[in-house]
């Protein structure tokens, strides 16, 4: 029997809306059925661990929003997913509107949405889930807030905030780990900031942003949200059109971790000194004021009004439920965890509330894979934040291939066990593990009976599979190792496991350290066979106490890693740290750098194979090379399970296969009761593609090509007489694919059949009526005077030209009524073709003027800089300023060869990463397209000719519009300005005769130059 989920877990492209999903049972487990068509509804289908106390047979439960202890009330139990699904449906309908003018958003928002949805990205392209998350916030802010039919949605959001976050407007986006929350943050910042600059009087937007993270690790990773950072996503990942980057640069962004909200002690006087100063008076208050704390934490934001706050890992930020008893927690560690959660959440939300009192907070955007209340909140742990408005769950991410597929134990050779032992390892070893911190519990011996046998067997079993995975990666040419992580419950346990894995030293009889054991897992050892410490460790121990101790790394590692350390120091200087500070990098900072660069080629952490951690890895660690995870701690909730498992779900490869989907990748998990799915499937690692940097070379500056950035066109047609010159580009073909079926056969179960024919509706329409209506639209939409007046005196000529177009056979109706051309969208396409023919016939090119971008008028090849994994052509140093031509198809290599070998070619460049765009209209919808090549030719004139080259094997109606626009509008419009050189356009339609076609083209241009 086939098992579709395990054989074909990935069903959808990551770049478009999901169209299929796997069938799941009531507990969220996959059924052996064929995929269901349509998108999965948001239903929070996430299995949870069994309750601590249960009677009878253990049963997997589902997430609930209420319980018998009253921790969650009926007010929390309303159908949250119902609101999420309703918003998702409205956003999908809004997204489907083809004309940006119908979106109900600002022009800047229109441009950003079109860019995110349709731009040809040279690097990582935004996933559909990322665009949808940003779209949801945009739709709620710019569309739903102004239309009464959506008022109930805002009432739900505002009501949930009023009860849980009085005075704040929070909107939560639920996105699976690995789905790319950082990109969504960048999108939201760009949308808000650019609109605030371009529409300063609109109250919905701001230029001020406070980004709050739960720790230093994530804070450092989010530096890419600062516009001035060298790796900023806005330019590096092309999230913002180049002409909008200047406006984005006016944003004020502060990046901090929530600990900055803690009001600090302003005096370092000892307790005795404090008492002496106090004398018999009142106690001295030496804690900084709220204003001083805000000045330190928020800085320049205090000069603005109504800023936006973005919370990363937002499940740490909430106000405790007033008047609610906390959950019953029997274990001391559980009570301590609940206390820590409550203190952190209280500090985080209090800081935001203080900022709101000071300058105002327009909105708080919460991003998290698990936006649920934690233990200690007063709510039932795992209750979804009721202000959640978007959901892209883990199962959605798996079905789109965005994350790895987690595998957990489903059977073992231990008889009598209903659940495999390694599914919940802690249940069997917890009582034998150390309870105290290593500092207070003495020195534990990994070789003693303290180390449970079941834990050793689990480590050996998972390590054996790791070895096979590592060998497979080496055979596939992956040049960094896979990573094995162990998540422990406290520092004592983590130290014990770390020493058992990697080896350890103890003080000998002579007082000198001696190596007691070189480690049990060969690939993870930090000592060689001669008991000497390796200069670059294979295993890393991460916990807060070690980071504070200053003993994280030894001098040998520093010496061997000196080049990478210097690189890190240079990077810190680029980010604003002065050289003196960078040269004094502490061991703690260095250790954090090692951890943050695990799996990254050429960085400090590239050779790390194993990471042993207490809790750091639940907080945004984003290595994409994790293949194995072992849990050595209690997992009381599904929330914690998903957080830890999420550390292993980031994909290693983002290359699409021949079906346009990602290949399946897996993460193998022991010791975490994450009941999602399991099946023995062999995963073959994909060989990484070579990454090539495509960039402008300084030594080739003489080959630089500059071009104007055109925003639109201004036409001055004759006032008295207009004519048209129709061509093949003037044709409009109407087919059932475009118009819809015109004939439909209808039948009942019995009785007579009947054929419906749309042509019957237009039988009485005369040809003159058709030309009249098209001429009227041409006059109203294309021929108005500059002051908006209608040139009625030209109507007769407009109708004559329209009739010429109709009678000349340029309108082709194939199986549909000819009168369908009057449908608004098709009528716009028709009059656009007629209008372009009028421009073609207008005497004198000076009547057309290109409108240049006032902020960024000139583009250049010197700014090209991106990376690619596609095949490339290494360019001739005497012909191209750019290092390579990216080969999207074979003909591009042939064209590059022809251009480099032709003596008349002075310089050329492929239009990729260049930013050369030609605006055109597809009916009523404004669009932009990117021609293929720019070439500078010596055609015999004193000034070189700039040639725009386009190659098309198949030429559809859209290609006709593009060619007609650049030939009849862009080229004459730019030439008429006289400031940007001479320009011409040519199109090759036979990709197999490029060389002869180019020779003919150049000879023709030379003849034209001689005649001129």
Going from the N-terminus, what domains does the chain have, and what CATH number goes with each? Answer: 73-266+288-321+333-400 (3.40.50), 405-435+450-670 (no CATH), 692-709+856-1011 (no CATH), 717-841 (no CATH)
d(CA 86, CA 96): 16
Mean pLDDT computed over 274-278 = 64
- Would you state the torsion angle of the CA atoms of residues 806, 807, 808, 813, taken in this order, to the nearest 10 degrees? 50
In the predicted model, is pLDDT for residue 601 greater than 60? yes
| Whole-number pLDDT of residue 817 | 84
* Higher per-residue confidence, 637 vs 306: 306
Tokens of 525: 């050892």
Q: Is 314 left (phi over 0), alpha (psi -120 to 50) or beta?
A: alpha
| pLDDT of 774 | 92
Q: Who wins on pLDDT, 685 or 384?
A: 384
Whether pLDDT at 436 is above 50 = yes
**What pLDDT, on the 0 to 100 scale, is given for residue 748?**
44
Largest CA distance in the chain: 111
What length does the chain have? 1012
The token pair at 435 is: 């309870």
Query: What pLDDT shows up at residue 55?
Result: 34
Tell me, letter by letter, the H, E, C secondary structure of 107-151: HHHHHHHHHHHHCCCCCCCCCHHHHHHHHHHHHHHHHHHHCHHHH
Task: Give tens-digit pLDDT for 769-823.
Answer: 899 999 998 888 877 776 677 888 888 888 999 999 999 999 998 888 888 888 8
Q: Is the pLDDT of residue 618 over 50?
A: no
What pLDDT does residue 302 have?
Answer: 93
For residue 840 the two structure tokens come to 């073609």
Residue 583: pLDDT band with limits 50, 70, 90 = low
Q: Which whole number is the average pLDDT over 493-502? A: 86
> What pLDDT score was predicted for residue 514?
80
Greater pLDDT, 960 or 860: 860
Strand 706-708 relative to strand 858-860, pairing: antiparallel
**What does the DSSP 8-state code read for residue 966?**
I
Whether the predicted pLDDT of 233 surpasses 80:
yes
What is the rounded average pLDDT for all residues in the chain? 80
| 730-762 confidence digits (pLDDT tens) | 888 888 777 777 776 664 433 345 566 777 777
Sequence-ordered strand ranges (E) for 644-683: 666-670
Is the pLDDT at 483 greater than 90? The verdict is yes
Mean pLDDT of 504-533: 85
Q: For residue 443, what pLDDT band results from cuts at 50, 70 and 90?
A: low
Q: pLDDT value at position 549?
A: 37
The residue among 698 and 322 whose pLDDT is bigger is 698
Provide, for the chain, the percentages of residues in helix, strand and coil under a 3-state DSSP scheme, each rounded to the nearest 5: 40, 15, 40
Residue 315's alpha-carbon distances to 203, 210, 318, 814, in angstroms, are 28, 17, 7, 58
Q: Read off the pLDDT band of 254 (50, 70, 90).
A: very high
What integer pLDDT is reported at residue 554 of this predicted model?
A: 44
Note if the pTM is more than 0.95. Answer: no
Strands (E), 134-194: 170-175
What's the pLDDT at 464?
Answer: 84
| Arithmetic mean of pLDDT, 584-608 | 74
Q: What is the pLDDT of residues 172-190, one digit of tens each?
A: 999 988 888 999 999 999 9
pLDDT at 78 over 60: no
Region 37-43 average pLDDT: 88
Per the model's pLDDT, the better-predicted residue between 762 and 518 turns out to be 518
3-state secondary structure of 31: coil
Report the alpha-carbon distance of residue 977 to residue 982 in Å, rounded: 10
Does pLDDT of 576 surpass 70? no
Confidence of residue 3 (pLDDT cuts 50, 70, 90): low
Residues linked to residue 276 through DSSP beta bridges, in sequence order: none
Residue 924's nearest CA partner among 849, 819, 825 is: 825
Q: What is the pLDDT of residues 539-571, one digit of tens each?
A: 887 764 444 333 444 454 444 344 445 545 555
Residues 6+ apart with CB under 8 A from 663: 10, 401, 653, 655, 657, 686
| Of the listed ranges 54-68, 479-493, 640-654, 971-985, the one predicted with least confidence | 54-68
| pLDDT of res. 6 | 63
Q: Flag whether pLDDT at 270 surpasses 50.
A: yes
Reported as a pLDDT band with limits 50, 70 and 90, residue 442 is: very low
Residues with Cβ within 8 Å of 746's Cβ and at least 6 positions away in sequence, in order, are 753, 754, 755, 756
Band of the pLDDT at 223, cuts 50, 70, 90?
confident
- Place 577 in a pLDDT band, splitting at 50, 70 and 90: low
Q: Name the burial class of residue 256, with classes exposed (0-12), middle (13-18) and buried (19+) by CB atoms within 10 angstroms of its CB.
A: middle
Q: How confident is the model at residue 130 (pLDDT cuts 50, 70, 90)?
A: very high
Q: The tokens of 130 are what? A: 């990322």
Q: Provide the 8-state DSSP code for 559.
A: H
Distances (CA, A) of 895 to 183, 339, 423, 934, 998: 36, 67, 58, 12, 9
- pLDDT, position 749: 32
The 10s digit of each residue's pLDDT in 9-36 is 889 999 999 999 988 777 666 777 888 9
Helix (H, G, I), strand (E, B) or coil at 792: helix
Q: In this model, does residue 279 exceed pLDDT 80?
A: no
At CA 706, angle to CA 705 and CA 712, rounded to 5? 135
Are 713 and 848 in contact, with CB atoms under 8 Å apart?
Answer: yes
Question: In this predicted model, what pLDDT tens digit does every residue of 188-212 receive, in sequence order?
Answer: 999 999 999 999 988 899 999 999 9
877-931 pLDDT, tens per residue?
Answer: 999 999 999 998 878 888 899 999 999 999 999 999 998 999 988 766 788 889 9
Band of residue 449 on the pLDDT scale cut at 50, 70, 90: low
114 pLDDT higher than 90: yes
**Does pLDDT of 128 surpass 90?**
yes
- What tokens appear for 26 in the block? 């009531």
DSSP 691: P
pLDDT of the residue at 805: 92
What DSSP character marks residue 255?
E
CA–CA gap between residue 171 and residue 192 (Å, rounded): 15
Of 808, 854, 857, 802, nearest in space to 830 by CA: 802
Band (425; pLDDT cuts 50, 70, 90): confident
Low-confidence winner among 50-59, 76-85, 620-629, 704-713 (lowest mean pLDDT): 50-59
d(CA 186, CA 237): 10
The whole-number pLDDT of residue 667 equals 83
Q: Are strands 539-542 and 513-517 parallel, antiparallel or unpaired?
A: unpaired
Contact 599, 480 (CB under 8 A): yes
Residues 70-91 have a mean pLDDT of 66
What pLDDT score does 69 carry? 35
**Helix or strand run (H / E) with residue 626:** strand 626-632
Residue 301's pLDDT is what? 94
pLDDT at 855: 79
Distance in angstroms (rounded) separating the CA atoms of residues 648 and 667: 6
Burial bucket for residue 56 (CB in 10 Å: 0-12, 13-18, 19+): exposed
The rounded percent of the chain whose pLDDT value lies above 70 is 79
Count of Cβ atoms closer than 10 Å to residue 927 Cβ = 18
* Beta-bridge partner residues of 713: 850
pLDDT at 209: 96
> Which segment of 227-241, 492-506, 577-591 scores lowest on mean pLDDT?
577-591
DSSP secondary structure code for residue 344 in this structure? H
**In this structure, what are the phi and psi dihedrals at residue 363, rounded to the nearest 5 degrees?**
-160, 155
Place of tokens 């009087």: 201
Please report the beta strands in 195-290, taking only residues with DSSP state E, as ranges in sequence order.
208-213, 252-257
**N-terminal to C-terminal alpha carbon distance within the chain:** 76
- Name the CA radius of gyration of the chain, rounded: 33
- Angle, helices 80-95 vs 128-138, to 10°: value is 100
**Each residue of 881-891: pLDDT tens digit?**
999 999 988 78
């Amino acid at each position: 029997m086939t098992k579709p989920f395990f054989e074909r877990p990935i069903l959808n492209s990551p770049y478009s809306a999901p169209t299929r999903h796997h069938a799941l049972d009531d507990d969220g487990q996959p059924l052996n059925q064929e995929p269901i068509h349509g998108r999965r509804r948001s239903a929070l289908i996430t299995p949870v661990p069994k309750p601590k106390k249960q009677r009878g047979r253990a049963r997997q439960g589902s997430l609930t929003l209420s319980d018998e202890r009253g921790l969650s009330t009926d007010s929390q139990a309303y159908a949250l997913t119902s609101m999420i699904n309703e918003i998702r449906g409205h956003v999908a309908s809004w997204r489907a509107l083809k004309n940006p003018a119908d979106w109900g958003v600002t022009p800047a928002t229109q441009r950003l949405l079109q860019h995110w949805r349709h731009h040809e990205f040279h690097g990582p392209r935004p996933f559909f889930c990322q665009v949808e998350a940003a779209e949801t916030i945009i739709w709620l802010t710019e569309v739903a807030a102004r239309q009464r039919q959506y008022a109930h949605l805002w009432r739900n959001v505002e009501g949930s905030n009023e009860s849980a976050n009085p005075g704040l407007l929070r909107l939560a986006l639920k996105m699976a780990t690995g789905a790319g929350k950082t990109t969504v943050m960048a999108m939201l910042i760009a949308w808000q900031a650019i609109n605030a600059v371009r529409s300063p009087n609109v109250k919905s937007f701001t230029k001020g942003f406070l980004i709050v993270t739960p720790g230093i690790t994530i804070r450092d990773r989010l530096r890419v949200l600062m516009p001035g950072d060298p790796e900023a996503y806005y330019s590096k990942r092309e999230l913002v059109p180049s002409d909008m980057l200047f406006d984005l640069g006016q944003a004020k962004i502060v990046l901090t971790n929530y600990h900055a909200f803690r009001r600090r002690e302003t005096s370092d006087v000892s307790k005795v000194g404090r008492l002496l100063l106090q004398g018999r008076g009142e106690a001295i208050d030496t804690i900084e004021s709220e204003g001083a704390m805000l000045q330190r934490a928020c800085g320049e934001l205090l000069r603005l009004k109504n800023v936006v706050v973005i919370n990363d890992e937002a499940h740490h930020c909430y106000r405790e439920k007033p008047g609610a008893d906390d959950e019953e927690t029997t274990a001391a560690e559980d009570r301590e965890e609940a206390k820590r959660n409550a203190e952190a959440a209280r500090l985080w939300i209090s800081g935001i509330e203080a900022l709101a009192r000071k300058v105002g907070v327009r909105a708080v955007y919460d991003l998290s894979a698990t936006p649920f209340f934690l233990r200690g909140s007063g709510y039932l742990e795992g209750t979804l934040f009721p202000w959640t408005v978007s959901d892209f769950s883990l199962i959605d991410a798996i079905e789109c291939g965005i994350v790895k597929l987690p595998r957990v134990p489903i059977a073992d050779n231990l008889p009598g066990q209903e659940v495999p032992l390694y599914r919940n390892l802690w249940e069997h070893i917890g009582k034998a593990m150390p309870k105290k911190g290593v500092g207070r519990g003495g020195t534990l011996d990994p070789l003693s009976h303290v180390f449970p046998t079941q834990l050793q067997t689990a480590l050996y079993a998972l390590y054996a599979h790791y070895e096979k995975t590592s060998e497979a990666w080496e055979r596939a040419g992956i040049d960094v190792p896979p990573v094995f992580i162990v998540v422990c419950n406290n520092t004592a346990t983590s130290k014990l496991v770390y020493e058992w894995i990697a080896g350890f030293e103890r003080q000998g009889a002579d007082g000198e350290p001696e190596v007691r054991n070189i480690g049990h897992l060969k690939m993870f050892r930090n000592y060689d066979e001669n008991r000497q410490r390796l200069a670059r460790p294979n295993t890393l121990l991460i916990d807060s106490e070690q980071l504070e101790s200053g003993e994280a790394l030894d001098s040998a590692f520093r010496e061997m890693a000196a080049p990478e350390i210097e690189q890190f120091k240079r990077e810190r200087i680029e980010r604003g740290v002065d050289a003196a500070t960078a040269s004094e990098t502490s061991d703690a900072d260095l250790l954090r750098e090692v951890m943050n660069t695990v799996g990254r080629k050429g960085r400090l952490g590239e050779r790390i194979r194993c990471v042993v951690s207490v809790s750091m890895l639940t907080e945004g660690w984003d290595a994409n090379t994790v293949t194995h995870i072992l849990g050595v701690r209690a997992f009381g909730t599904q929330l914690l399970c998903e957080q830890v498992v999420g550390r292993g779900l980031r994909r290693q490869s983002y290359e699409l296969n021949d079906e346009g989907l990602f290949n399946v990748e897996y993460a193998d998990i022991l010791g975490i009761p994450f009941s999602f799915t399991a099946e023995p499937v062999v995963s073959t690692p994909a060989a990484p593609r070579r990454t090539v940097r495509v960039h402008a070379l300084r030594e080739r500056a003489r080959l630089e090509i500059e071009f104007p950035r055109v925003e639109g066109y201004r036409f001055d047609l004759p006032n008295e007489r207009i004519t048209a010159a129709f061509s093949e580009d003037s044709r409009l073909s109407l087919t059932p694919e475009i118009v819809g079926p015109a004939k439909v056969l209808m039948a009942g179960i019995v009785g007579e059949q009947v054929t419906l024919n749309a042509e019957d509706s237009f039988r009485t329409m005369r040809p003159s009526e058709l030309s009249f209506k098209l001429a009227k639209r041409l006059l109203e939409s294309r021929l108005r005077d500059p002051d908006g007046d209608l040139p009625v005196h030209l109507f007769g000529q407009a109708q004559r030209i329209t009739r010429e177009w109709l009678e000349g056979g340029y309108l082709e109706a194939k199986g549909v009524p000819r009168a369908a051309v009057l449908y608004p969208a098709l009528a716009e396409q028709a009059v656009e073709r007629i209008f372009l023919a009028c421009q073609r016939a207008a005497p004198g090119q000076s009547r057309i003027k290109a409108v240049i971008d006032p902020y960024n008028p000139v583009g250049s090849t010197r700014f090209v800089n991106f990376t690619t994994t596609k095949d490339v052509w290494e360019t001739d140093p005497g012909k191209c300023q750019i290092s390579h031509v990216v080969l999207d198809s074979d003909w591009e290599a042939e064209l590059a060869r022809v251009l480099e070998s032709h003596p008349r070619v002075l310089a050329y460049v492929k239009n990729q990463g260049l930013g050369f765009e030609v605006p055109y209209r597809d009916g009523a919808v404004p669009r932009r397209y990117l021609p293929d090549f720019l070439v500078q030719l010596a055609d015999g004139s004193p000034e070189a000719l700039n040639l725009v080259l386009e190659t098309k094997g198949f030429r559809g109606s859209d290609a006709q519009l593009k060619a007609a626009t650049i030939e009849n509008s862009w080229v004459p419009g730019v030439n008429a300005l006289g400031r940007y050189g001479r320009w011409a356009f040519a199109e090759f339609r036979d990709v197999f005769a490029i060389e002869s076609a180019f020779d003919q083209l150049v000879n023709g241009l030379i003849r034209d130059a001689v005649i001129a």
